[in-house]
Homo-oligomer: A and B are copies of this chain.
Amino acid sequence: MEAKPKRATIRQVAAATGLSPAAVSYALRGLQVSSETQERVRRVASEMGYEADPIARALRGGTTGMVAVLAGSLSDFWTQGLTHALQRELRAVDRHTVVADADGVPGRELELARRLVDHRVDGLIVSPVGPSSGDWRAIAERVPVVTIGDALPGVATVGEVVFDNDTGVADTLAHLSSLGHRRIAVLSWSLATAPGRRAERAVERAGVELGIRCALVPCAYSLNGSAPLALELLAGADRPTAVFCLSDSIAYGVYAACAELGLRIPGDVAVAGFDDHPISRLLSPPLTTTDWDCGAVARSAVEFLVSALDGGGAVQRRVMAPQLRVRSSTVPG
């Protein structure tokens, strides 16, 4: 169709300088050759607009300078924010970033990871949808992997940032319990895709300890996904007195449902979220939720990855402590 403007190759630069391709390759990377020819080659190369083709280099076995961030679901607002934060951090250390979105399907996450590794990304930061979904081992053997949120059991990752969900869940339920709530619905997106996640187990445990009735309800990610479900839940006869959403995005859907049903928060139902997305503060009433320090998560994940890329040794690990932000969605202001 169009005339493709071929880019300059190393052989052309070699011809232009009267050197061999090998010499040019060395010169441009500051190896072997005299600093004099190095200079000359650099000049000619930039005049010709030459830059090494990353694909050719990758095929040979080198690196691409590209790191992949694999998001479990970009429907989720907090995940969107985390992704953005990761890109920022990676750029700060001069790594280019590509993002891929598994859209909530664990199998897809693994497939994307494979594809990205095939494309020779230098490293992978992944927030798994479900912990045990398939053969991550092979991936981790080919490229450094840092996980966020759920460790991959039995896989040799180079770093993990995990959330202390047990404490986070327990704190929230204790808070609700102390306000007198005994019938609490817990909405979680991960139930459907990965039953048995730690957060859910924590819910059950805390429920028993506190002597309250927690009904776990599987739920679509995202506002639009959770609103219909919440509508049904809250319109029913045996309406819970509080709803605990394992993601702020889900809580927004509950807000929408309450608005539609004319229910007052927290008078008719108390609502708690779980990520502290920036918008949660702005809602009316502001949403009680749990802050994990998104910025710190991103910083650690990138730090772990970079140190592995630089040849660092031991696997690194950081446990994020939850910070319950009590706002008016549970406690009337």
Contact = CB atoms under 8 A, between A and B. Distances in A.
Interface stretch (A185-193, A235-243, A279-287, A316-324): A279-287
Given A55-B120, A100-B98, A283-B284, A84 B75 contact: yes
A212 interface: no
Contacts of A259: 282
Given A98-B99, A99-B99, A5 B55 contact: no
Contacts of A267: none
Contacts of A116: 98
B64 A87 contact: no
Nearest to A91: B103
A98 B99 CA distance: 5
A138 B256 CA distance: 47
A298 to B, nearest CB: 13
A53 B256 CA distance: 47
Interface string A243-260: 000000000100110010
Interface string A1-14: 01111000000000
B97 A101 contact: yes
Contact of A101 (B74, B99, B119, B120): B99
Contact of A118 (B5, B53, B77, B252): B53
- Number of copies of this chain that the complex holds: 2
Interface string A78-95: 001001100110010000
Contact of A84 (B58, B59, B68, B74): B74
B256 A156 contact: no
Interface in A108-129: 112, 115-116, 118-120
A22 interface: no
Interface of A: 2-5, 51, 53-56, 58-59, 64, 66, 68, 74-75, 77, 80, 83-84, 87-88, 91, 96-101, 103, 112, 115-116, 118-120, 138, 141-142, 156, 223-224, 252, 255-256, 259, 278-279, 281-284
Task: Identify the 8 closest CB pairs spanning chains A and B, nearest first.
Answer: A284-B284, A98-B98, A99-B99, A74-B84, A80-B80, A87-B101, A223-B278, A54-B118
